Amino acid sequence: MKLAVPDMISNSYFPAEAAIELGFFRAQGLDVTLEMIFPVDKAYMALREGAVDFVGGSAHSALAAFPQWRGLKLICAQAQGMYWFLVMHSDFAVQRGNVEAVKGRRIGAAPWVDMGLRRLLIAAGIDLERDGVTIAPVPGAAGAGVNFGLTAAKALEERKIDGFWANGMGAEIAARRGVGTIVLDVRRGDGPQGCFDYTMASIATTDRLIEKSPETVAAAVRAIVETQRALKKNVERAGEVGRKLFPAAEAELIVDLIRRDLPYYDASIPETFVAGMNQFARELGILTGEMPYEKVVATQFRDLWKA
């Protein structure tokens, strides 16, 4: 079986990666391999086409390949909350939380990831056209095998962009190099009310796999839950995964990044989250009408989230 993630050298989808590398899928009787497919909409398209069996990506992005949530379900969370950071070049000396700093600036963001920033800025009173905000892909991030956060940090350092909206690894690297200032960290309270629930890092699969092999899907959920539990018990195990998958410099950072994320390691998908995400999707025009919770989430596995 294959599990696709859109960014590998990152903390964003680390529970999915660790479930493979630390043997938790194998312990549940599943032979799962990791595949990176960027950007995230292509990962969900691969799921729709049967090229992969699971996607560990941003939950709202499933709508790119499964309109109106038809044919797919979220089966568990990797972690709670929208997990991207707004980082601006340190030369601008932006104060934490000051979204006005994006006015007249070029912000790099990946496809579908950019939606979170666009909606957040609108909610904060920024008119993208009036205020001259450009949100576009990061130069050099389109190639196969490229990890977006690292590419964004490099582009910021080279002044190809004024800021970026990306994962915690990219934000950490930019901050440690002294080229970037973290302006927004939504997961930890920054940004307008409600933006925490725009999306989350989830695990998704198709309705056809759930119908054909519910025991396989249940085993996948248990594997993620056990991975979260193991990392909470001993976060140093994140280093084992980092040394297998990441370049040396990023492997050195991953334990600290995962330690910060542990409070959000909860496999549950709350109804309040789905309501917030669907409202976000309607505001963006990628979803129409109300969508019941059970049309988005595979509720038959919810008892496993806390098992």
CATH number of the domain that 134 lies in?
3.40.190.10
Same domain, 75 and 119: no
Same domain, 204 and 187: no
State the total domains in the chain.
2
Name the least confident of 131-145, 148-162, 259-273.
Answer: 131-145
Same domain, 49 and 143: no
Same domain, 204 and 248: yes
Same domain, 10 and 153: no
Q: How far is the C-alpha of 239 from the C-alpha of 105, rounded, in Å? A: 36
Structure tokens at 22: 């630390």
Same domain, 252 and 296: yes
Mean pLDDT, the chain, rounded, equals: 96
Of 164, 179, 194, the last residue of a domain is 194
pLDDT score, position 47: 98
Within the chain, strands assigned E span: 2-5, 33-36, 54-58, 72-79, 85-89, 106-109, 134-136, 163-166, 180-185, 201-206
Same domain, 190 and 271: no
Of 194, 226, 256, the last residue of a domain is 194
DSSP assignment letter at 137:
P
pLDDT score, position 76: 99
Same domain, 151 and 222: no
Q: How far is the C-alpha of 211 from the C-alpha of 80, rounded, in Å? A: 27
Q: How far is the C-alpha of 102 from the C-alpha of 116, rounded, in Å? A: 15
Average pLDDT over residues 228-255: 97
Of 178, 194, 210, the last residue of a domain is 194
Instruction: With beta carbons less than 8 A apart as the criterion, state whether 225 and 267 touch.
Output: yes
Range of the structural domain that residue 170 is part of: 85-194
Say what the pTM is.
0.96
Model confidence pLDDT, tens digit, residues 198-230: 999 999 999 999 999 999 999 999 999 999 999
Same domain, 283 and 188: no
